[in-house]
Amino acid sequence: MTLGERQGDEKNDSKYCGVETEFNDDMPQLLSLNIHGGFDFVVAPLMDPAYRPSLLVSSNGGSGVLPFAGSDLVLSPSQWSSHVVGKISSWLDLDSEDETLRRDSEITLKQEIAWASHLSLQACLLPAPKGVTCANYARCVNQILQNLSNMQLWLRIPLEKSDDDDGNRSPNSMGEEHRDSWEMWNSFRTLGEHHSQLSVALDVLSSLPSVNSLARWFGEPVRAAIINSNSFLTNARGYPCLSKRHQNLLTECFNHSIQIVISGQQMQNFPTGTSVSNSHNSNNQSEGVEGMQRHPLRSYLDYIAYLYQKMDPLPEQERFELGYRDYLQSPLQPLMDNLEAQTYETFEKDTTKYIQYQRAVAKALVDRVPDEKASTITTVLMVVGAGRGPLVRASLQAAEETGRKLKVYAVEKNPNAIVTLHSLLKIEGWEKLVTIVSSDMRCWDAPEKADILVSELLGSFGDNELSPECLDGAQRFLKEDGISIPSSYTSFFQPVTASKLYNDIKSHKDLVHFETAYVVKFHRVARLTSPQPVFTFNHPEDSTRKSNHRYTKLRFEIPTDTGSALVHGFAGYFDSVLYKDVHLGIEPSTATPNMFSWFPIFFPLRTPMCVQPGIPLEVHIWRCCGTSKVWYEWGVTSPSSSPIHNCNGRSYWVGL
């Protein structure tokens, strides 16, 4: 019946809450009890836990019907698929030293999943690996996944990591005592080549690892969080509740579409008669069907619903960007291609950005023309890449605001935008103030030199839309002491876990997609360290160095308490100094609020790299310039070397 509705996030799967049950011969009754008890789905065993293939073979000679719980007819197909997650027998141990147990486990696993698949279940919960090694388990699941149509397999992983992990241990964690369950998961999914139908169900225990250690899971394909009733506390009024840290974890789960499953027994008697949900100010009205007994885990469910409902509604910008979450877009090529009206329309709506530009121009005007000369000196300002005029407007407003006289040139290479610019001038009565120039700034023969050059040529990674090359071309008509707005910009890199993005890229089955940078609204992504600056460009560039070629080597240290983590690639950002203290950017720690023109960029790694505590991640990035294109190359050299990505710009480049 859902945990509730969250404004702005109606499609979030995490509003459905499940319950883990024991084996029950009578599935219709089991389902009815739990659905009427308030749960949306059950995670229920499909086969009698006493079943062992090896016993069966010796008793009736290997033929015989498997001891399934009833037939597929006991529920309708839609009941099976919308209300039942198959719980694979928990006695399975595919890496046991006992060969009979191992063979029994292997046969049973295949039988149960075949049965679940026959029922069109959406998912099955696989038991947690039992030992320090999981290779045979991973191999069997990998074999099964090759022929599995749509079903998801949720591998149960206890959320545990010892905190005394000091980062000095040997990297050979597999052969020794397993202290970080993430490593088991990483080995399992690596053996299975990151199959997209294999995901994680986290067993949330009563004590939680560090915040950093938890955070890496949000870049992994976690589909469910199983929380046992014994992880709950009891509040002053006798009702179940969770520690603050557990509450935060669950909120993060809700935000990442991770479904909650409640497991275990009712731990104590809660006050009866009073609705628990009321005690939490919940608007969840369902009290169970009349005459039916209250579900023993109902109080826990009500508390989870309460947590769900008390989340803040999604901010408007987040809501607007919901559809873009984790969706890979190729960056614009505004230099080679002309932007379309729709694109201009979208970007022009970003008020925050133009307010920043207006502030920067105003400051530059005041610096350039003292108050006493305001009425005599006319500043020549050129907007290079004027588009449909938003920077012209911002500049004129700055002039008006500061009382400075302005002569504006609006230089634009897109002839379609020029049409709109002419119309704008007429409508606004700017004909005397603004000269429209239909030309590429790199080859325009300007009639005079500018005091101020204003441009908005930045991409998500700063220089990636070739602002440096364009402004180098425009610098010819900037006065020696002229000002460029922006006056500099810097790109940033940050290692991330991004399992979803990796799988989307992998699905193309080619090299090109692994050597391309994508614009993407990160959501199911774990940011593993603080970002570090990559390349900086200054304008005007007064050095004699002509080249915009750049090379930087970065060294990231992942916090030790994170544990190991898988790096699927690097998030890229930029920050730009427009003028003096007026900046604009998307680097998370200094990001300009309420700005939506740029999503981050993502540079993938062809092979994700596992980084262990205490061992630095070293990455090299090149900006390479050819005669007709600019491109990046990138590669990792520690903890081990990757191939150099995008050699000679073979996969991804920006046309000049």
d(CA 654, CA 519): 14
Q: For residues 384 and 455, is the Cβ–Cβ distance under 8 A?
A: yes
647 binds its own copies (CB under 8 A): yes
616 binds its own copies (CB under 8 A): yes
Beta carbons within 10 angstroms of residue 149's beta carbon: 7
Nearer to its own copies, 13 or 193 (CB): 193
540 binds its own copies (CB under 8 A): no
SS3 117: helix
Report whether 345 belongs to an annotated binding site. Answer: no
Task: Collect all residues with Cβ–Cβ distance below 8 Å to 504 and sequence separation of at least 6.
Answer: 326, 328
Q: For residues 301 and 227, is the Cβ–Cβ distance under 8 A?
A: no
Which of 104, 280, 633, 653 is the binder for its own copies (CB under 8 A)? Answer: 633
Site for its own copies in 355-394 (CB under 8 A): none
d(CA 262, CA 299): 11
472 binds its own copies (CB under 8 A): no
Q: For residues 215 and 562, is the Cβ–Cβ distance under 8 A?
A: yes
Site for its own copies in 128-167 (CB under 8 A): 133, 135-136, 138-139, 142-143, 146-147
CB of 152 to its own copies, least distance (A): 19
Which of 6, 102, 223, 246 is the binder for its own copies (CB under 8 A)? Answer: 102
Report the relative pairing of strands 601-611 and 565-579 from DSSP bridges: antiparallel
d(CA 530, CA 558): 9
Decide if 465 is catalytic.
Answer: yes
117 binds its own copies (CB under 8 A): no
Catalytic residue among 20, 465, 515, 587: 465
191 binds its own copies (CB under 8 A): yes
610 binds its own copies (CB under 8 A): yes
Interface region with its own copies, contact rule CB under 8 A, candidates 229-237, 256-264, 283-291, 640-648: 640-648
d(CA 190, CA 139): 11
> Which pairs count as long-range contacts for 72-79, CB under 8 Å and 24+ apart, including other chains?
72/118, 72/119, 74/26, 74/27, 74/28, 75/27, 75/28, 75/31, 77/119, 77/120, 79/31
d(CA 308, CA 291): 28
CB of 217 to its own copies, least distance (A): 18
553 binds its own copies (CB under 8 A): yes
CB of 145 to its own copies, least distance (A): 9
Report whether 412 belongs to an annotated binding site. Answer: yes
CB of 619 to its own copies, least distance (A): 9
Report whether 354 belongs to an annotated binding site. Answer: yes
Nearer to its own copies, 194 or 368 (CB): 194
Per residue in 22-51, is it b (16+ CB within 10 Å) or e — as a string?
ebbeebeebbebbbebbbbbbbbbbbeeeb
101 binds its own copies (CB under 8 A): no
d(CA 301, CA 260): 10
CB of 609 to its own copies, least distance (A): 9
CB of 518 to its own copies, least distance (A): 22
640 binds its own copies (CB under 8 A): yes
Task: Give every strand in the sheet of 434-438, ordered side by side.
Answer: 434-438, 405-412, 378-384, 450-455, 478-485
Report whether 47 belongs to an annotated binding site. Answer: no
SS3 564: coil
Nearer to its own copies, 484 or 646 (CB): 646
CB of 554 to its own copies, least distance (A): 11
Catalytic residue among 20, 160, 183, 456: 456
Site string for its own copies, 54-93 (x = CB under 8 A): ----------------------------------------
Report the relative pairing of strands 582-585 and 565-579 from DSSP bridges: antiparallel
Nearer to its own copies, 109 or 396 (CB): 109
CB of 177 to its own copies, least distance (A): 14
The DSSP letter of residue 644 is P
608 binds its own copies (CB under 8 A): no
Site for its own copies in 171-190 (CB under 8 A): 171-172, 174-175, 186-187, 190
Which of 5, 13, 193, 367 is the binder for its own copies (CB under 8 A)? Answer: 193
Nearer to its own copies, 311 or 644 (CB): 644
Nearer to its own copies, 309 or 516 (CB): 516
Nearer to its own copies, 430 or 603 (CB): 603
648 binds its own copies (CB under 8 A): yes
Interface region with its own copies, contact rule CB under 8 A, candidates 324-332, 381-389, 434-442, 543-551: 543-551
Cα torsion 242, 245, 248, 250: sign? negative
d(CA 507, CA 196): 9
The DSSP letter of residue 254 is H
642 binds its own copies (CB under 8 A): yes
Q: Site for its own copies (CB under 8 A): how many residues?
A: 48
Q: For residues 492 and 573, is the Cβ–Cβ distance under 8 A?
A: yes
Which of 618, 625, 629, 656 is the binder for its own copies (CB under 8 A)? Answer: 618
Decide if 287 is catalytic.
Answer: no
d(CA 26, CA 21): 12
DSSP letters, 284-349, are -----STTSPPPTTHHHHHHHHHHHHTSPPPPHHHHHHGGGBT--BPPP-TTTSPPPHHHHHHHHT
615 binds its own copies (CB under 8 A): yes
Which of 91, 128, 622, 651 is the binder for its own copies (CB under 8 A)? Answer: 622
Beta carbons within 10 angstroms of residue 510's beta carbon: 10
Of 456, 415, 466, 457, give the one whose Cα is nearest residue 437.
415
Q: For residues 15 and 25, is the Cβ–Cβ distance under 8 A?
A: no
Please give the distance of CA 152 from its chain centroid, rounded to a whole number: 20
Report whether 353 belongs to an annotated binding site. Answer: yes
CB of 196 to its own copies, least distance (A): 14
111 binds its own copies (CB under 8 A): no
Cα torsion 318, 319, 325, 330: sign? negative
638 binds its own copies (CB under 8 A): yes
d(CA 383, CA 407): 11
607 binds its own copies (CB under 8 A): yes
512 binds its own copies (CB under 8 A): no
The partner residues of 381 in beta bridges, in order of sequence, read 408, 452
CB of 204 to its own copies, least distance (A): 26
Active site residues: 456, 465
Task: Enumerate the known binding-site residues.
Answer: 344, 353-354, 412, 440-441
Binding site for its own copies (CB under 8 A): 102-103, 133, 135-136, 138-139, 142-143, 146-147, 170-172, 174-175, 186-187, 190-193, 547, 549, 551, 553, 555, 607, 610, 614-616, 618, 620, 622, 633, 635, 637-644, 647-648, 650
Task: Enumerate the known binding-site residues for S-adenosyl-L-methionine.
Answer: 344, 353-354, 412, 440-441
